[in-house]
Amino acid sequence: MAKMTFRYGAVSSAKTLNLLAVAHQVERQGKRVVVMKPALDTRDGPRTVASRAGLDREADVVLTEDTDLAADDYRGAACILVDEAQFLSAHVVEQLRELTRSAGVTVFAYGLRTDFRGRLFEGSRRLLELADSIEEVKTSCALCDRKAVFNQRLLAGRPVTEGPAVQLGGDESYRGVCYDHLGSGT
């Protein structure tokens, strides 16, 4: 049976670059890779998976809340790579989990652990429940040299603590911080 791994990390921890590197490497070995992303993530266009550091590629599959995934479509693939997996529905995470058994395909899902209020996203929660392995993609706090653990939302450069859980944004809107800097906010 193949494995499902959740690779979580704070904002700007190069999760997408990590995903693109895996895709690149597996394809160079002559194996088939399937890249997926949730429809909710439209920052770089509906199908584009783009790293801030400069690489990108098109997703093979764009996932909505109720996408069904058929084993026959993925049998023989070396792995499925999912970007921004915190935005997946529980239903889709369960479908991916089942593919590790029904299609024998390895799944790597990359995503945030928590939203700006420190709460699991629906996709992260289900991945933390079902994944065989939980691995961290580390990055440092924007304000010191400790590890970033939380994702702070910014408005005009100041931390905010109210608003919707999902609100797309880049470096101007989010930064990774440690617990100490989460509290003090500066």
- Catalytic positions are 84
From 61, 65, 91, 140, residue interacting with a second copy (rule: CB under 8 A): 140
User: Which residues are CB-contacts of 153 (< 8 A; sequence separation ≥ 6)?
Assistant: 116, 159, 160, 161, 163, 167, 169, 173, 174
- Site stretch for a second copy (CB under 8 A), options 60-68, 81-89, 145-153, 154-162: 145-153
DSSP 83: S
**What is the phi/psi pair of residue 176, to 5°?**
-85, 135
Q: Pattern of binders to a second copy over 82-121, x per CB under 8 A?
A: ---------------x--xx----x------xx---xxx-
Our measurement of the distance from residue 155's CA atom to the centroid of its chain's CA atoms, rounded to an integer in Å, reads 23
Is 147 near a second copy (CB under 8 A)?
yes
* Angle CA 186–50–130, to nearest 5: 80
For residues 185 and 182, what is the distance between their CA atoms, to the nearest angstrom?
5
The tokens for 108 are 């790597």
From 43, 45, 46, 52, residue interacting with a second copy (rule: CB under 8 A): 52
Is 18 near a second copy (CB under 8 A)?
yes
Q: Give the orientation angle of helix 90-102 with respect to helix 122-130, to 10 degrees.
A: 30
From 26, 50, 62, 154, residue interacting with a second copy (rule: CB under 8 A): 26
CB 49 within 8 A of CB 16: yes
- Site stretch for a second copy (CB under 8 A), options 10-18, 36-44, 151-159, 161-169: 10-18
Binding residues vs a second copy (CB under 8 A):
1-2, 4, 12-14, 17-18, 20-22, 24-26, 28-29, 31, 51-55, 78-79, 97, 100-101, 106, 113-114, 118-120, 125, 128-134, 136, 139-140, 142, 145-147, 149, 171, 178-180, 183
